[in-house]
Each structure stands twice: as C-alpha cells, then as structure tokens.
Amino acid sequence: MKVEVVNIEGKKTGKSVELPDSVFGIEPNEHAIYLAVKQYNAAQRQGTHKAKERGEIVGSTRKIKRQKGTGTARAGSIKSGLFRGGGRIFGPRPRTYDIKLNKKVKQLARKSALSSKATAGQLIVMEDFTFDTPQTKQYLSILRNLELDQKKTLLVTGDHDKTLYLSCRNLKKSDVSRAQDLNVYQMLNAQTLILSEGAIEQLTASLV
C-alpha cells in the first residue's frame, strides 16, 4: 500500500511511503483488539478500594445479649456486619486488575488497529518535523492545514519529542505518542492517525 507524504502545511511533498501489507493490510482481528482494549482499561484502575471487615472495626467484643430466649437471632458482637456501624461482609480489598496478554496477541491487535485505520482512510503520513520551543498555536496551525483541528488526532513519532508533547498538551482532541508506546486504545480513540516517517520505520521493524 502506497501513501503520499504531506508536510506541515498540509501539501503533498511528492514522496510516497510503502506501507507493508503485513502490518497495514491484514484482516483485522476484532477479538484481539477487544482483549487489548480490555487490558488497557483494566490497567487504568488503581485497585486501592478497601472496606473494613468485622475484625478491623474498633469496638467492644462483649456478647450483646444472651444466646437463647430472646426470640431473635443469635448475636455475638456489635461489630457484626448485620448491625449498623459493624464491619462490611465480603467488602472490597486492594487488588490489581492487570490482565496478561501474550506478546503475539498484542502484536496482532496493534496490526489489526493499524490496518483498520488504513482501510478506513483515517491514516496520514507526514514528514518528520519538530519545534524549537513548545508552541501550541503552531501545532494547531498544522492541524488546521490538514483540516483536522475539529477531530481527535494522534500524532505518532519515531522518538520521544518533548516539545511536540508540550505543544499539544492543552488541546483536548490531540495527543502525541512514540511508536514504541503506541497502544490499541489510543489508535481506536483517535479519528485520524498521523504517522511520521520515523514512526513507520519503527512500527514496521517491531511488528513485521
């Protein structure tokens, strides 16, 4: 698959990039994509929820009433979960929600997401660029040149570029990621994927 390269002005440079079909032209595997998104969402959960059980409640352990003859159920402690102020029965405990995925499944999910974006025409290849200093207005002008200022975009670079990250940080609909850190959720959440030439080289090397 050949894709023409554009510059920061949104104009064609006359160059084209060959996107390998093994990465950008496969039949998307929806189940692999589902698992990758599920893993990402699960990893966002802190898992720090905690409720006190009856052994952690501060209070008297005195038997509050006699065992028999009251006409009601037995009660051994005011800290029972059946009473107001007592411990919670089977309450939440700190835990991790991490889900393990095999490396090949992760790679298949990433290739599936890239292929679906390429097939839908939601993928743009841009020549490498950078800013001397963080400039949100300058980055926004690039999106306007591409007619993407009203859409969710994800710019994928070959290496970490702090100035680009700081330039788009205040834009709600824009994000920047290294090719090495790119995940399926980010790709699907973006309406348009902007790949730099350096990012394509890294993605091809890691996924082929």
In this predicted structure, what is the pLDDT of residue 12?
87
In this predicted structure, what is the pLDDT of residue 186?
93
Q: In whole angstroms, what is the distance from residue 163 CA to residue 165 CA?
A: 5
Three-state DSSP class for residue 66: coil
Question: Could you tell me if 10 and 74 lie in one domain?
Answer: no
In this predicted structure, what is the pLDDT of residue 171?
92
CA 75 to chain CA centroid, Å, is: 49
Question: Could you tell me if 150 and 61 lie in one domain?
Answer: no
In this predicted structure, what is the pLDDT of residue 160?
87
Question: Could you tell me if 113 and 191 lie in one domain?
Answer: yes
Pair type for strands 192-196 and 153-157: parallel
Angle (CA) 124 128 132, round 5°: 125
pLDDT means per 10 residues, the chain with 208 residues, are: 88 89 93 97 95 92 91 92 92 94 95 94 92 92 92 92 91 92 94 92 87
CATH number of the domain that 111 lies in?
Answer: 3.40.1370.10
Question: Could you tell me if 84 and 182 lie in one domain?
Answer: no
Alpha helix ranges (H) inside the chain: 21-24, 30-43, 103-119, 136-145, 162-168, 184-189, 197-207
Widest CA span in the chain: 94
Question: Could you tell me if 161 and 103 lie in one domain?
Answer: yes
| Single pTM value for the model | 0.83
In this predicted structure, what is the pLDDT of residue 208?
77
Q: Domain span at residue 168? A: 2-44+99-207
Q: How far is CA 136 from CA 14, 26, 147, 163, in A?
A: 28, 36, 16, 10
In this predicted structure, what is the pLDDT of residue 96?
95
Angle (CA) 173 174 179, round 5°: 140
How many folded domains does the chain comprise? Answer: 2
- What would the two tokens of residue 36 be? 């990758």
Among 162, 189, 194, residue whose Cα is nearest residue 173: 189
Question: Could you tell me if 184 and 138 lie in one domain?
Answer: yes
Among 157, 102, 151, residue whose Cα is nearest residue 125: 157
Task: Give me the amino acid identity at 76.
Answer: G
Contacts of 25 (CB under 8 A, 6+ apart): 1, 19, 115, 118, 119
Residues in the chain: 208
Question: Could you tell me if 53 and 68 lie in one domain?
Answer: yes
Question: Could you tell me if 155 and 66 lie in one domain?
Answer: no
- For tokens 């025409």, the residue is 121
Q: In whole angstroms, what is the distance from residue 52 CA to residue 65 CA?
A: 24
